[in-house]
Amino acid sequence: MRLSWRRCSRAEDRFEAWIAQQHQRRVLAGETTPSGPCPDEAFLRALAWSSNSIDLLDPRVDHAATCPNCMNRLLALRREHQAQKRKLTWAVAGAACIILVAGLFGWSRYESRQQMLAQAPPIPELVDLWNAATYRGQQPRQLQSGLLPAARIHLTIILPRFSQAGQYLVAVTRDQNGNGVVAEGAAATTASGTQERVIVDLDLRGARAGAYFLSTTHEQDKAAYYYPLQIK
């Protein structure tokens, strides 16, 4: 039902187009008699662009529809308008493509940068606590602070003089009570001369710049030692 109505409508459209063509041919051939003077360019332009401001009862519409000069101008203006519309469509499509390509490019660069960061080897860092030991009978002194980047690090800690060998838990915490653990790792000591070292990988990427503590806990001793630390 709907299909036949559509077909009918298309046939009507074709018929109307044919009548318009016949009329156009007659006007251009000078077979019609226009009444009144030719309207100005602005009016013809508005008429060619099917502007809503045009009142079809306006006598200038009647004139333009029967004057070969005005008809020629109308056809030219209409072609111009359609070309402009096409150009605009292409410009919009082009701009959309550029935005899409730029977005994809930016995203792929971001992705590859993230991948590079994820695959990049950890930064080697050293914290030397050799002289950070406290001696019997002395007041514990303020221990020197280390400075570490907010990145994945391969940290070598030179433990304080007289530290026990063995397995250590190393952590970066917010306070001296072990709260707010930012990163931790465990490793056995390695001896280097008279020094004991612990080497652990820590991921400090989630840490904001500021004051933290580096703690070392011997697996048997269980006492944690805290050293002030700055993350930059």
Supply the DSSP symbol for 198. E
Cα 156 to Cα 165: distance, rounded to the nearest angstrom: 15
Among 23, 24, 26, 38, binds Zn ion (CB under 5 A): 38
Q: Min. distance of Cβ 54 from Zn ion in angstroms?
A: 16
Q: Min. distance of Cβ 19 from Zn ion in angstroms?
A: 21
Cα 116 to Cα 120: distance, rounded to the nearest angstrom: 6
Residue 27 or 155 having the CB closest to Zn ion: 27
* Helix H or strand E encompassing 228: strand 224-231
Q: Which residues between 42 and 101 bind Zn ion (CB under 5 A)?
A: 67, 69-70
Cα 225 to Cα 132: distance, rounded to the nearest angstrom: 10
Strand order in the sheet with 195-203: 123-128, 152-158, 195-203, 190-192
28 binds Zn ion (CB under 5 A): no
Report the chain's terminal Cα–Cα distance, integer Å.
76
Instruction: Give the interface segment with Zn ion, choosing from 37-45, 182-190, 201-209, 212-220 (CB under 5 A).
Output: 37-45
Q: Min. distance of Cβ 73 from Zn ion in angstroms?
A: 8
Q: Min. distance of Cβ 27 from Zn ion in angstroms?
A: 10
Residue 66 or 215 having the CB closest to Zn ion: 66
Q: Which residues between 140 and 179 bind Zn ion (CB under 5 A)?
A: none
Q: Give the binding site for Zn ion (CB under 5 A).
A: 38, 67, 69-70
